[in-house]
Amino acid sequence: MIEQAPSPASDAQNMPDTVTLLGIETSCDETAASVIRRTGGRTDILSDIILTQFDKHAPYGGIVPEIAARAHVELIDHAVARALGEAGLALSDMDAIAATSGPGLIGGVLVGMMTGKALAMGAGVPFLPINHLEGHALSPRISAECPFPYLLLLVSGGHCQFIHVHGLGQYERLGSTIDDAAGEAFDKTAKLLGLGFPGGPVLEQLAKTGRADALAFPRPLLKRDGLDMSFAGLKTAAARAIEAEPLTEARKADIAASFQQAVADILTEKTRRALAGLDAGAAGKRLVVAGGVAANQTIRAALDGLAEREGAQLFTPPLRHCTDNAVMIAQAGAEHFLAGARGDLGTTARPRWPLDEKSAEADPVYGRGKRGAKA
Protein backbone atom coordinates (compact mmCIF):
# COMPACT_ATOMS: atom_id res chain seq x y z
CA MET A 1 0.00 0.00 0.00
CA ILE A 2 1.21 3.53 -0.72
CA GLU A 3 2.55 5.26 2.35
CA GLN A 4 1.88 8.97 2.66
CA ALA A 5 4.90 11.21 2.90
CA PRO A 6 5.01 12.84 6.36
CA SER A 7 4.80 16.61 5.97
CA PRO A 8 5.51 19.41 8.41
CA ALA A 9 2.61 21.72 9.16
CA SER A 10 4.08 24.39 6.87
CA ASP A 11 4.29 21.91 3.97
CA ALA A 12 0.73 20.78 4.56
CA GLN A 13 -0.47 24.29 3.86
CA ASN A 14 1.21 24.10 0.45
CA MET A 15 -0.33 20.76 -0.51
CA PRO A 16 -2.15 20.89 -3.85
CA ASP A 17 -5.94 20.74 -3.77
CA THR A 18 -6.26 19.67 -7.42
CA VAL A 19 -4.59 16.89 -9.38
CA THR A 20 -4.85 15.86 -13.04
CA LEU A 21 -3.77 12.27 -13.39
CA LEU A 22 -3.52 9.44 -15.93
CA GLY A 23 -4.51 6.00 -14.66
CA ILE A 24 -3.68 2.64 -16.28
CA GLU A 25 -5.27 -0.76 -15.56
CA THR A 26 -4.04 -4.08 -17.03
CA SER A 27 -4.43 -6.62 -14.23
CA CYS A 28 -6.63 -9.10 -16.13
CA ASP A 29 -8.17 -8.89 -19.61
CA GLU A 30 -9.11 -5.22 -19.94
CA THR A 31 -6.57 -2.73 -21.26
CA ALA A 32 -7.77 0.54 -19.78
CA ALA A 33 -6.60 4.13 -19.46
CA SER A 34 -8.30 7.18 -18.01
CA VAL A 35 -7.61 10.82 -17.23
CA ILE A 36 -9.35 12.36 -14.24
CA ARG A 37 -9.15 15.64 -12.39
CA ARG A 38 -9.86 15.59 -8.66
CA THR A 39 -10.47 18.78 -6.73
CA GLY A 40 -11.26 18.40 -3.05
CA GLY A 41 -13.91 15.71 -2.89
CA ARG A 42 -15.03 15.93 -6.53
CA THR A 43 -13.79 13.77 -9.40
CA ASP A 44 -14.26 14.82 -13.03
CA ILE A 45 -13.75 11.99 -15.52
CA LEU A 46 -12.06 13.53 -18.56
CA SER A 47 -11.69 10.21 -20.41
CA ASP A 48 -12.50 6.56 -19.78
CA ILE A 49 -11.08 4.03 -22.26
CA ILE A 50 -11.58 0.27 -21.89
CA LEU A 51 -10.32 -2.03 -24.66
CA THR A 52 -11.56 -5.59 -24.23
CA GLN A 53 -10.05 -8.90 -25.30
CA PHE A 54 -13.23 -11.00 -25.38
CA ASP A 55 -12.68 -12.28 -28.92
CA LYS A 56 -9.16 -13.49 -28.08
CA HIS A 57 -10.24 -15.56 -25.06
CA ALA A 58 -13.69 -16.73 -26.17
CA PRO A 59 -12.40 -19.86 -28.02
CA TYR A 60 -10.89 -21.09 -24.73
CA GLY A 61 -13.89 -20.36 -22.50
CA GLY A 62 -11.76 -18.33 -20.10
CA ILE A 63 -8.82 -15.99 -19.78
CA VAL A 64 -5.46 -17.30 -20.99
CA PRO A 65 -2.73 -15.33 -19.15
CA GLU A 66 -0.17 -15.43 -21.98
CA ILE A 67 -2.71 -14.26 -24.54
CA ALA A 68 -3.85 -11.51 -22.17
CA ALA A 69 -0.30 -10.24 -21.67
CA ARG A 70 0.39 -10.12 -25.42
CA ALA A 71 -2.88 -8.31 -26.03
CA HIS A 72 -1.99 -5.70 -23.41
CA VAL A 73 1.30 -5.06 -25.22
CA GLU A 74 -0.62 -4.52 -28.47
CA LEU A 75 -3.30 -2.29 -26.96
CA ILE A 76 -1.73 -0.23 -24.18
CA ASP A 77 -0.29 2.54 -26.39
CA HIS A 78 -3.64 2.95 -28.15
CA ALA A 79 -5.51 3.11 -24.85
CA VAL A 80 -3.22 5.80 -23.43
CA ALA A 81 -3.28 7.85 -26.64
CA ARG A 82 -7.07 7.70 -26.76
CA ALA A 83 -7.38 8.65 -23.09
CA LEU A 84 -5.19 11.71 -23.53
CA GLY A 85 -6.91 12.59 -26.81
CA GLU A 86 -10.43 12.39 -25.35
CA ALA A 87 -9.33 14.51 -22.41
CA GLY A 88 -7.84 17.07 -24.79
CA LEU A 89 -4.62 17.07 -22.80
CA ALA A 90 -0.98 16.16 -23.33
CA LEU A 91 1.23 13.98 -21.16
CA SER A 92 2.93 17.18 -19.99
CA ASP A 93 -0.38 18.29 -18.46
CA MET A 94 -0.40 15.36 -16.01
CA ASP A 95 0.61 15.90 -12.38
CA ALA A 96 1.19 12.18 -11.86
CA ILE A 97 0.75 8.74 -13.44
CA ALA A 98 -0.92 5.84 -11.60
CA ALA A 99 -0.95 2.21 -12.71
CA THR A 100 -2.09 -1.09 -11.25
CA SER A 101 0.98 -2.81 -9.81
CA GLY A 102 -0.85 -5.88 -8.44
CA PRO A 103 -2.54 -8.14 -7.69
CA GLY A 104 -3.39 -9.81 -10.98
CA LEU A 105 -2.01 -11.80 -13.88
CA ILE A 106 1.64 -10.87 -13.61
CA GLY A 107 2.25 -10.51 -17.36
CA GLY A 108 -0.52 -7.98 -17.72
CA VAL A 109 0.40 -6.15 -14.52
CA LEU A 110 3.97 -5.74 -15.79
CA VAL A 111 2.80 -4.24 -19.08
CA GLY A 112 0.70 -1.55 -17.42
CA MET A 113 3.12 -0.81 -14.61
CA MET A 114 6.17 -0.47 -16.86
CA THR A 115 4.20 1.71 -19.27
CA GLY A 116 3.19 3.94 -16.36
CA LYS A 117 6.76 4.17 -15.11
CA ALA A 118 8.10 5.07 -18.55
CA LEU A 119 5.47 7.77 -19.05
CA ALA A 120 6.13 9.19 -15.58
CA MET A 121 9.87 9.32 -16.21
CA GLY A 122 9.33 10.94 -19.60
CA ALA A 123 6.99 13.57 -18.18
CA GLY A 124 9.06 14.12 -15.05
CA VAL A 125 6.12 13.44 -12.72
CA PRO A 126 5.57 10.97 -9.85
CA PHE A 127 4.60 7.37 -10.54
CA LEU A 128 2.01 5.96 -8.13
CA PRO A 129 1.78 2.14 -7.87
CA ILE A 130 -1.82 1.21 -7.10
CA ASN A 131 -3.27 -1.92 -5.54
CA HIS A 132 -6.04 -3.10 -7.89
CA LEU A 133 -8.21 -4.03 -4.90
CA GLU A 134 -7.84 -0.52 -3.47
CA GLY A 135 -9.11 0.79 -6.80
CA HIS A 136 -12.30 -1.22 -6.28
CA ALA A 137 -12.45 -0.19 -2.62
CA LEU A 138 -12.43 3.51 -3.50
CA SER A 139 -14.54 3.25 -6.68
CA PRO A 140 -17.82 4.51 -5.12
CA ARG A 141 -16.01 7.76 -4.29
CA ILE A 142 -15.64 8.48 -8.02
CA SER A 143 -19.24 9.56 -8.45
CA ALA A 144 -20.60 10.07 -4.94
CA GLU A 145 -19.66 11.51 -1.59
CA CYS A 146 -18.85 8.32 0.31
CA PRO A 147 -17.03 9.26 3.51
CA PHE A 148 -14.84 6.95 5.57
CA PRO A 149 -15.26 4.63 7.39
CA TYR A 150 -17.37 1.99 5.63
CA LEU A 151 -17.84 -1.74 5.22
CA LEU A 152 -16.66 -3.00 1.83
CA LEU A 153 -17.95 -6.14 0.16
CA LEU A 154 -15.48 -6.69 -2.67
CA VAL A 155 -16.96 -9.33 -4.94
CA SER A 156 -15.40 -10.01 -8.33
CA GLY A 157 -14.00 -12.73 -10.57
CA GLY A 158 -10.84 -13.12 -8.53
CA HIS A 159 -11.72 -11.78 -5.09
CA CYS A 160 -14.51 -12.04 -2.54
CA GLN A 161 -13.94 -10.48 0.87
CA PHE A 162 -15.24 -8.16 3.56
CA ILE A 163 -12.99 -5.22 4.38
CA HIS A 164 -13.49 -2.55 7.03
CA VAL A 165 -12.23 0.60 5.31
CA HIS A 166 -11.17 2.88 8.15
CA GLY A 167 -9.59 5.49 5.87
CA LEU A 168 -7.31 5.90 2.88
CA GLY A 169 -4.72 3.12 3.06
CA GLN A 170 -6.27 1.73 6.27
CA TYR A 171 -7.92 -1.63 5.56
CA GLU A 172 -8.95 -4.44 7.91
CA ARG A 173 -9.96 -7.83 6.53
CA LEU A 174 -13.05 -9.24 8.25
CA GLY A 175 -13.70 -12.31 6.11
CA SER A 176 -12.93 -13.87 2.75
CA THR A 177 -13.77 -16.77 0.50
CA ILE A 178 -11.80 -19.85 1.48
CA ASP A 179 -11.81 -21.24 -2.08
CA ASP A 180 -13.39 -19.82 -5.26
CA ALA A 181 -14.44 -16.21 -5.66
CA ALA A 182 -18.11 -15.63 -6.46
CA GLY A 183 -17.34 -14.31 -9.94
CA GLU A 184 -15.14 -17.31 -10.69
CA ALA A 185 -18.01 -19.62 -9.70
CA PHE A 186 -20.34 -17.68 -12.01
CA ASP A 187 -17.98 -17.97 -14.96
CA LYS A 188 -17.22 -21.67 -14.44
CA THR A 189 -20.89 -22.56 -14.06
CA ALA A 190 -21.68 -20.61 -17.20
CA LYS A 191 -18.96 -22.51 -19.04
CA LEU A 192 -20.48 -25.84 -17.93
CA LEU A 193 -23.85 -24.63 -19.22
CA GLY A 194 -22.23 -23.85 -22.58
CA LEU A 195 -22.96 -20.11 -22.33
CA GLY A 196 -19.64 -18.86 -23.64
CA PHE A 197 -17.29 -16.18 -22.34
CA PRO A 198 -17.53 -13.97 -20.38
CA GLY A 199 -20.03 -16.21 -18.63
CA GLY A 200 -21.27 -14.22 -15.64
CA PRO A 201 -23.35 -11.62 -17.52
CA VAL A 202 -24.79 -14.29 -19.87
CA LEU A 203 -25.79 -16.48 -16.92
CA GLU A 204 -27.52 -13.49 -15.34
CA GLN A 205 -29.58 -12.92 -18.49
CA LEU A 206 -30.50 -16.60 -18.73
CA ALA A 207 -31.55 -16.65 -15.06
CA LYS A 208 -34.27 -14.09 -15.78
CA THR A 209 -36.28 -16.81 -17.55
CA GLY A 210 -35.69 -19.48 -14.91
CA ARG A 211 -37.10 -20.36 -11.49
CA ALA A 212 -34.86 -19.42 -8.56
CA ASP A 213 -36.40 -22.16 -6.38
CA ALA A 214 -36.22 -24.93 -9.00
CA LEU A 215 -33.13 -26.61 -7.51
CA ALA A 216 -32.14 -26.85 -3.85
CA PHE A 217 -28.51 -25.78 -4.15
CA PRO A 218 -26.41 -25.60 -0.94
CA ARG A 219 -25.47 -22.36 0.83
CA PRO A 220 -21.98 -23.29 2.15
CA LEU A 221 -20.75 -21.95 5.51
CA LEU A 222 -24.03 -20.26 6.43
CA LYS A 223 -24.22 -22.44 9.55
CA ARG A 224 -20.68 -21.50 10.55
CA ASP A 225 -20.00 -18.35 12.57
CA GLY A 226 -17.90 -15.65 11.03
CA LEU A 227 -17.70 -13.94 7.66
CA ASP A 228 -15.68 -16.43 5.61
CA MET A 229 -17.42 -17.71 2.47
CA SER A 230 -17.17 -20.69 0.12
CA PHE A 231 -18.41 -21.14 -3.44
CA ALA A 232 -16.58 -24.28 -4.62
CA GLY A 233 -19.23 -26.63 -3.24
CA LEU A 234 -22.02 -24.60 -4.83
CA LYS A 235 -20.20 -24.76 -8.17
CA THR A 236 -19.85 -28.55 -7.79
CA ALA A 237 -23.57 -28.89 -7.01
CA ALA A 238 -24.39 -26.94 -10.17
CA ALA A 239 -22.06 -29.19 -12.18
CA ARG A 240 -23.84 -32.30 -10.88
CA ALA A 241 -27.22 -30.81 -11.72
CA ILE A 242 -26.01 -30.10 -15.25
CA GLU A 243 -24.93 -33.73 -15.66
CA ALA A 244 -28.04 -35.23 -14.05
CA GLU A 245 -30.58 -34.57 -16.80
CA PRO A 246 -30.70 -33.51 -20.46
CA LEU A 247 -30.02 -29.78 -20.72
CA THR A 248 -33.16 -28.29 -22.20
CA GLU A 249 -33.31 -24.51 -22.40
CA ALA A 250 -35.81 -24.48 -19.53
CA ARG A 251 -33.51 -26.56 -17.32
CA LYS A 252 -30.52 -24.36 -18.17
CA ALA A 253 -32.53 -21.32 -17.08
CA ASP A 254 -33.63 -23.02 -13.85
CA ILE A 255 -30.04 -24.00 -13.00
CA ALA A 256 -28.83 -20.46 -13.73
CA ALA A 257 -31.58 -18.85 -11.63
CA SER A 258 -31.14 -21.28 -8.71
CA PHE A 259 -27.36 -20.88 -8.75
CA GLN A 260 -27.59 -17.09 -8.85
CA GLN A 261 -30.08 -17.06 -5.97
CA ALA A 262 -27.78 -19.24 -3.87
CA VAL A 263 -24.90 -16.79 -4.37
CA ALA A 264 -27.19 -13.86 -3.53
CA ASP A 265 -28.36 -15.61 -0.35
CA ILE A 266 -24.79 -16.30 0.79
CA LEU A 267 -23.62 -12.75 0.17
CA THR A 268 -26.70 -11.23 1.77
CA GLU A 269 -26.52 -13.28 4.97
CA LYS A 270 -22.78 -12.77 5.39
CA THR A 271 -23.20 -9.03 4.77
CA ARG A 272 -25.98 -8.91 7.39
CA ARG A 273 -23.58 -10.42 9.91
CA ALA A 274 -20.82 -8.00 8.94
CA LEU A 275 -23.14 -5.01 9.37
CA ALA A 276 -24.32 -6.34 12.72
CA GLY A 277 -20.73 -6.40 13.93
CA LEU A 278 -20.04 -2.78 13.00
CA ASP A 279 -20.04 0.06 15.48
CA ALA A 280 -22.30 2.50 13.64
CA GLY A 281 -21.17 5.54 15.62
CA ALA A 282 -22.51 8.98 14.94
CA ALA A 283 -22.15 8.62 11.16
CA GLY A 284 -24.31 5.50 10.88
CA LYS A 285 -23.50 2.36 8.94
CA ARG A 286 -22.22 2.60 5.38
CA LEU A 287 -22.00 -0.40 3.04
CA VAL A 288 -20.00 -0.33 -0.18
CA VAL A 289 -20.40 -3.12 -2.73
CA ALA A 290 -17.77 -3.11 -5.49
CA GLY A 291 -16.25 -5.46 -8.06
CA GLY A 292 -17.59 -7.06 -11.21
CA VAL A 293 -20.24 -9.17 -9.46
CA ALA A 294 -21.67 -5.96 -7.98
CA ALA A 295 -23.07 -5.34 -11.47
CA ASN A 296 -25.40 -8.33 -11.08
CA GLN A 297 -28.89 -6.89 -10.62
CA THR A 298 -30.27 -9.76 -8.52
CA ILE A 299 -27.39 -9.47 -6.08
CA ARG A 300 -27.64 -5.67 -6.06
CA ALA A 301 -31.35 -5.84 -5.30
CA ALA A 302 -30.80 -8.33 -2.46
CA LEU A 303 -28.12 -6.16 -0.86
CA ASP A 304 -30.18 -3.01 -1.39
CA GLY A 305 -33.07 -4.63 0.49
CA LEU A 306 -30.70 -5.75 3.25
CA ALA A 307 -29.27 -2.24 3.66
CA GLU A 308 -32.76 -0.80 3.95
CA ARG A 309 -33.76 -3.36 6.60
CA GLU A 310 -30.56 -2.82 8.57
CA GLY A 311 -30.67 0.97 8.39
CA ALA A 312 -27.43 1.14 6.41
CA GLN A 313 -26.55 3.48 3.57
CA LEU A 314 -25.60 1.54 0.42
CA PHE A 315 -23.01 2.81 -2.05
CA THR A 316 -22.28 1.10 -5.37
CA PRO A 317 -20.21 2.37 -8.29
CA PRO A 318 -21.91 2.96 -11.65
CA LEU A 319 -22.15 -0.33 -13.55
CA ARG A 320 -19.25 0.64 -15.85
CA HIS A 321 -16.97 1.10 -12.86
CA CYS A 322 -17.90 -2.17 -11.13
CA THR A 323 -15.83 -4.20 -13.59
CA ASP A 324 -12.13 -3.50 -14.14
CA ASN A 325 -11.45 0.04 -15.35
CA ALA A 326 -8.76 2.71 -15.20
CA VAL A 327 -10.94 5.41 -13.63
CA MET A 328 -10.81 3.62 -10.27
CA ILE A 329 -7.02 3.32 -10.53
CA ALA A 330 -6.74 7.02 -11.32
CA GLN A 331 -9.11 7.75 -8.41
CA ALA A 332 -6.92 5.84 -5.96
CA GLY A 333 -3.83 7.56 -7.34
CA ALA A 334 -5.41 10.99 -7.06
CA GLU A 335 -6.50 10.43 -3.47
CA HIS A 336 -3.01 9.31 -2.46
CA PHE A 337 -1.39 12.20 -4.36
CA LEU A 338 -3.60 14.78 -2.64
CA ALA A 339 -2.75 13.12 0.70
CA GLY A 340 0.96 13.67 0.07
CA ALA A 341 2.15 10.48 -1.63
CA ARG A 342 4.70 10.92 -4.41
CA GLY A 343 5.20 7.31 -5.43
CA ASP A 344 8.17 5.10 -6.07
CA LEU A 345 9.77 4.12 -9.40
CA GLY A 346 11.43 1.19 -7.65
CA THR A 347 8.11 -0.59 -7.04
CA THR A 348 7.93 -4.16 -8.35
CA ALA A 349 4.86 -5.88 -9.78
CA ARG A 350 3.03 -8.15 -7.36
CA PRO A 351 0.80 -11.06 -8.43
CA ARG A 352 -0.45 -11.15 -4.82
CA TRP A 353 -1.09 -7.98 -2.85
CA PRO A 354 -3.62 -8.20 -0.01
CA LEU A 355 -5.28 -4.98 1.09
CA ASP A 356 -4.77 -5.98 4.72
CA GLU A 357 -1.21 -7.29 4.58
CA LYS A 358 -0.91 -7.66 8.34
CA SER A 359 -3.86 -10.08 8.52
CA ALA A 360 -2.78 -11.87 5.36
CA GLU A 361 0.67 -12.56 6.80
CA ALA A 362 -0.60 -13.54 10.25
CA ASP A 363 -3.63 -15.56 9.14
CA PRO A 364 -3.65 -16.21 5.37
CA VAL A 365 -6.96 -17.56 4.09
CA TYR A 366 -5.33 -19.83 1.51
CA GLY A 367 -2.05 -20.49 3.32
CA ARG A 368 1.36 -19.29 2.24
CA GLY A 369 3.08 -19.63 -1.10
CA LYS A 370 6.64 -19.04 -2.28
CA ARG A 371 5.84 -15.36 -2.82
CA GLY A 372 4.12 -14.76 0.50
CA ALA A 373 0.54 -14.91 1.73
CA LYS A 374 -1.87 -15.70 -1.09
CA ALA A 375 -4.79 -13.71 0.31
The CA-based diameter of the chain, rounded to the nearest angstrom, is 73
Q: With CA atoms as reference, report the closest residue to 185 among 220, 134, 153.
A: 220
Report the alpha-carbon distance of residue 185 to residue 43 in Å, rounded. 34
> Which tens digits make up the pLDDT trace of 219-264?
999 999 999 999 999 999 999 999 999 999 999 999 999 999 999 9
Report the alpha-carbon distance of residue 337 to residue 331 in Å, rounded. 10
Question: Which sequence spans correspond to the domains of the chain?
Answer: 9-140+321-353, 147-316
* pTM of structure: 0.91
- Do residues 333 and 128 touch, judged by C-beta distance below 8 A? yes
- Do residues 113 and 100 touch, judged by C-beta distance below 8 A? yes
User: Does 172 score more than 70 pLDDT?
Assistant: yes
> Which tens digits make up the pLDDT trace of 275-319?
998 876 645 699 999 998 999 999 999 999 999 999 999 999 998
Confidence of residue 73 (pLDDT cuts 50, 70, 90): very high
User: Does 366 score more than 90 pLDDT?
Assistant: no
Q: How buried is residue 345: exposed, middle or buried, by Cβ count under 10 Å (0-12/13-18/19+)?
A: exposed
Which CATH architecture best describes the domain 147-316?
2-Layer Sandwich (3.30)
Report the alpha-carbon distance of residue 237 to residue 263 in Å, rounded. 12
- Cis? peptide before 198, omega within 30° of 0: yes
> Which tens digits make up the pLDDT trace of 10-62?
355 567 899 999 999 999 999 999 999 999 889 999 999 999 998 899 888 88
Multiple choice CATH, 9-140+321-353, 2.60.120.380, 3.40.47.10, 3.30.420.40, 3.30.2140.20: 3.30.420.40
Q: 147-316: same fold as 9-140+321-353?
A: yes
